[in-house]
Structure 1
Amino acid sequence: MAWAYLLIASVFEVVFALGTNATHGFTELGPSLLTAAAAAGGIFFLSLALKSLDVGVGYTVWTGIGSVGTVILGSVLFHEAVTPAKALAFVLIIGGVLGLKIADKLATAPSAA
């Protein structure tokens, strides 16, 4: 369940980041309320995930997925450029997230002694 909570937290993180852009310095009420709710939701679900996951793994995965999701949706919604260098960095972040998930699974697997 921890990884599901972490994925939900990451979705809230993306909404938070994109919402922050739409608040115009927290002068727009609707986007400001959405942004605050997304921040609270992200932290809540992250805290649930961290009951089972190491904080280093959980936080890194949360920010990694949030970062990649924000860049992808930022390019779609706000027409931000995705250069080859950015695309390579995204691939590296995704590889790191997958590596952390695999490492966590290996660390928690029962040993065959």
Structure 2
Amino acid sequence: MAWIYLLIAAVFEVIFALATNATEGFTQLWPSLLTAGAAATGIFFLSLALKTLDVGVGYTIWTGIGSVGTVVLGTLIFGEEINLWKALAFVLIIGGVLGLKLSDRASAGTPSAA
């Protein structure tokens, strides 16, 4: 269930980032409310995921998925450019997220120190 919570948290992280762009420095009411609500909801679901996941794994995956999702949707919604270097960075981020997910699965049978 922790991974589902983490995925939900990452979706709200993307909403938060994209809505922040529309706040115009928090001078626009509805985008500002959406930004605050998405941030709070994302952090809430992240906290649920971190009941089970290591904070280093959970937080890193949350920000990684949020980063990639924000760039992809920023390209589609705002027409932002993706060049070769950005694409390479996305591949590395996705690889890191997958590596952390696999490392968490591998250590699931190992008792934690905490």
Superposition TM-score tier, normalisation by shorter sequence: over 0.9
Q: Which amino acid is the alignment partner of residue 37 of structure 1?
A: G
Q: Secondary structure at the match of 1:108?
A: coil
Amino acid at match of 2:22: A
Where does residue 52 of structure 2 map in the other structure?
Answer: 52
- Normalised to the residue count of structure 2, the TM-score between the two structures is 0.95
Q: Displacement of 1:109 after TM fit?
A: 2.9
Aligned to 2:101: 101
Q: Identify unmatched segments of 5+ residues in structure 2.
A: none
Cα RMSD (Å): 1.2
Q: Which residue of 2 aligns with 1:65?
A: 65
**C-alpha distance in 2 between matches for 1:80 and 1:47:** 31
2:78 is equivalent to residue 78 of structure 1: yes
TM-score relative to the length of structure 1: 0.96
Counterpart Cα distance in 1 of 2:109 and 2:81: 41
**Matches of 1:12 and 1:67, distance apart in 2:** 12
Aligned to 1:38: 38
String of CA shifts for 1:83-104, please: whole Å, max 9, x gaps: 0110010011001000000000
CA distance in 1, matches of 2:109, 2:17: 35
Runs of 4+ in 1 over 3 A off after TM superposition: none
Alpha-carbon distance, 1:33 to partner: 0.5
Query: 2:54 aligned with 1:20, yes or no?
Result: no
Q: Deviations over 1:25-73 (max 9, x none)?
A: 0011110000000000000000000000000000000000000000000
